[in-house]
Amino acid sequence: MSEKVLMKGNEALAEAAIAAGCKHFFGYPITPQNELTAHMSKRLPKIGGTYLQAESEVAAINMVLGASAAGVRAMTSSSSPGISLKSEGLSYLAGSDLPAVIVNVQRAGPGLGGIQPSQADYWQATRAAGHGDFKLLVFAPSTVQEMVDLTGDAFALGDKYRMPAIMLSDGILGQMMEPVVMPKDSIARIPERPWAACGHGDKREHNVINSLYIEPPVLEAVIKARFEKYRLIEEKEQRCEEYLTDDADIVIVAYGASARISRSAVNAARKEGIKAGLIRPITLWPFPTKAIISRIGNAKTFLCVEMSMGQMVDDVRLIVNGKRDVRFFGRTGGMVPTPAEVLGELKKIKGGI
Amino acid sequence: MKFKRPHALTDAQFHYCPGCSHGIVHRLVAETMDELGVEGKTIGLAPVGCAVFAYNYFNCDMVQAAHGRAQAVATGIKRALPDNVVFTYQGDGDLAAIGTAETVHAATRGENITVIFINNAIYGMTGGQMAPTTIPGQVTQTTPYGRSTKDAGHPIRVCEMLATLDGVALAQRVSVDTVKNVNAAKKAIKKAFQYQMEGRGYTIIEVLSTCPTNWGLSIPDSLEWLRKQMVPYYPLGVFKDKGEKKEEGQ
Ligand SMILES: Cc1ncc(C[n+]2csc(CCOP(=O)(O)OP(=O)(O)O)c2C)c(N)n1
Ligand code: SF4
């Protein structure tokens, strides 16, 4: 394995994409993801790749679609307002069964919102990324090392299942510096793409990349087949980390930067004799349903901590389905919850148990 | 015109209305691929518009792009496969309204692709609404009193506009209303493909086209309307041509 290096989250993610064999990047400037585009613009020309600053996020995601259709690994990155513009492209990628990695270094919304970190795009990533019936793989890193590791997974699983994957990061993780181990370039095993539109070379029938199915029964069948694939992914690809949940009365559910804060709160609570634990979803879709279900036995209360007005909490409530109390604590607008605030919530719950 | 079906066209039956120019232009593009022997290395981009099913008609690899995004998608493909031939086939709504930004920027970057631009002065697929190229006074579903430049602004002359951009190697407007013009159109399309293969930059061939269905005219009347109304507003000709010799790198 390689040595540890100190890197900013955004740069580490960019470098991990290159290690995963991604040589085509199309972006558009927006804070707080600018280190990522800057890093790509520095590195890609040196390795025979393409860095292209597009005229808009709409164009950038469509360039990614083209590169992916042509058979190469491609990525774009942006932050919340730019991801809204990528909606159309995400829907077309999904409808055309194309892999691609889309990074959202979330900032506060709605509208121009603010440039401080946020987790208010959970619904957008997991429910409403664009029009139509489709899902995206959604990864939620919580350390710089995970920015690296999950980027490799996003490319690999995107290729495996022929679908786009979102890296749902935020301004804290993007800007944070931590020591990381970078994967070796040689690990990039890019699978064959026999379906790609790369010129048939007079050797096969023409390939068509398309999302249009004008006959309703045909389109329904295509979507149903895709949902069968989604069901398989929900079965096989759920990921989360559990921390002190075995005997926990109160189980916090938090991802990304909120999970880091919640973990500190769990440690502080344990010192005060409160049996708290943490489930940290690593995949937001597929959501780690099984882990939540397995804790309905011992947990009396679930507490979701998010940097939003409460979005992931919907998923937890759906899973818990009224069997346990599900509470929410969050800050929004670019405000970050403190461990002390989360501890305060745990104490309130403990008082009521 | 040759009447043997070009190899670069599939056996699928065109769905275009009688008298529509789309079918003729498809044939010219396919003949070009045949003559240059590039079908196997070509990737075509189908638009959103009446030509959306172009992916069923061309025998080369095809990608269907979102409305207006064909040139962004083509950019992604060409950057991944610089030695292949990439063309887009787009209507005026697709290219000059919703896709204006993608068009202007692909052109100014000198993206090494060929754009086949069907200017029929109307939105065909959605039933005949005003297009950015609808000419002043023209009646459409959404300009029932005729296009008023006061309210709806002026049409865009795409070739003239793009000719101002340094990335453009060839910008030419042609028509397919007569055998002579069809032959000239074919020559222009072939030249555009050749320029692309020589790596000269962005090439666009604008084809003045008929839409008898949404113009509400017979086939002969629509040809007449094209000559009398469109050609004066959109003169045929070459608006930019970087010439036969490859430019020195700067
Ligand atoms: C985002 C989006 N907006 C609108 C439409 C509806 N729509 C389909 S085709 C079209 C216009 C097509 O006109 P044009 O590009 O001139 O091509 P033509 O049909 O005349 O060949 C529109 C507006 C769409 N499919 N997607
Ligand atoms: S509606 Fe117009 S553009 Fe469309 S196929 Fe018919 S004639 Fe051609």
pLDDT tens-digit readout, B224-246: 999 999 999 999 999 999 986 55
B114 in a domain, yes or no? yes
pLDDT, greater one: A295 or A186: A295
Same domain, A83 and A145: yes
Contact status, residue A314 vs residue A337, Cβ threshold 8 Å: no
Please give, rounded to a whole number of angstroms, the shortest distance from the CA of B134 to a CA of chain A. 26
Element (H, E) at A25: strand A24-27
CB contact under 8 A, A212 and B102: no
Residues A230 and A248 in one domain: no
pLDDT digits (tens, 9 = 90+) for A299-311: 999 999 999 999 9
Quick one: tokens of A294? Answer: 């397995």
Q: Which residue type, as a one-letter code, is found at position A185?
A: D
The pTM for the full model equals 0.97
The backbone region for B128, taken as left when phi is positive above 0, alpha when psi lies in -120 to 50, beta otherwise, is: left
Cα angle, residue B149 at apex, residues B145 and B154 outer, rounded to 5°: 125
Task: CATH number of the domain at B229, please.
Answer: 3.40.50.970
Instruction: Name the average pLDDT for chain A.
Output: 96
Whether residue B5 is contained in a domain is answered as no
Last residue of one domain, picked from the residues A214, A236, A258 = A236
- pLDDT the model gives residue A1: 52
Residues A219-273 have pLDDT tens digits of 999 999 999 999 999 999 999 999 999 999 999 999 999 999 999 999 999 999 9
Q: What are the residues whose beta carbons fall under 8 Å from the beta carbon of B220, sequence distance 6 or more?
A: none
Q: CB count, 10 Å around CB of B166? A: 14
Alpha carbon of B43: minimum distance to chain A alpha carbons (Å): 6
A315 lies in the same domain as A228: no
Backbone torsion region of residue A256, taken as left when φ is above 0, otherwise alpha when ψ lies between -120 and 50, otherwise beta:
left
In this prediction, residues B62-66 reach a mean pLDDT of 98
What's the ipTM? 0.96
Neighbour count for residue A78 (Cβ, 10 Å): 25
Domain check: are A114 and A166 in the same one?
A: yes
Please provide residue A305's backbone torsions phi and psi, each rounded to the nearest 5 degrees: -115, 120
pLDDT of residue B243: 83
When pLDDT is averaged across residues A72-95 and rounded to a whole number, the result is 98
pLDDT digits (tens, 9 = 90+) for B180-192: 999 999 999 999 9
Q: Would you call B105 and A26 a contact, using CB atoms and an 8 Å cutoff?
A: no
Q: Which residue range forms the structural domain that includes residue B44?
A: 22-241
Contact B41 A201 (CB under 8 A): yes
A63, A96, A210 member nearest B76 (Cβ): A63
Q: Return residues 4-33 of B near A (CB < 8 Å).
A: 10
Sign of the alpha-carbon dihedral angle for B134, B137, B139, B144: positive
Domain closes at, from A221, A236, A251: A236
Residue A282 sits in a domain whose CATH number is: 3.40.50.920
- List all residues of chain B from 162 to 181 with a beta carbon under 8 Å from chain A: none
Please calculate the CA angle B62-A85-B73 and round it to the nearest 5 degrees.
Answer: 20
Q: What is the pLDDT of residue B250?
A: 45
Q: What is the total count of domains within chain A?
A: 2
Q: Is the pLDDT of residue A103 over 90?
A: yes
The CA distance from A128 to A107, in Å, is: 17
Q: Quote the DSSP letter at residue B226.
A: I
Residues A73 and A195 in one domain: yes
Q: Which helix (H) or strand (E) holds A102?
A: strand A100-106
A228 in the same domain as A97: yes
Q: A207 and A329: one domain? A: no
CB-CB neighbours of B184 under 10 Å: 16
> Which one of A181, A208, A236 terminates a domain?
A236
Q: Mark whether A180 and A86 lie in a shared domain.
A: yes
Tally the domains of chain B.
1
Residues A195 and A312 in one domain: no
Mean pLDDT for chain B overall: 96
Closest C-alpha among B182, B185, B183 to residue B172: B185
For ligand 1, mutation pick of B89, B103, B123, B211 (most atoms within 8 Å of CB): B123
Structural domain of residue A181, as residue ranges?
5-236
The CATH number of residue A93's host domain is 3.40.50.970
* Strand A301-306 with A276-281, pairing: unpaired
Please check whether residues A38 and A112 belong to one and the same domain: yes
pLDDT digits (tens, 9 = 90+) for A119-159: 999 999 999 999 999 999 999 999 999 999 999 999 999 99
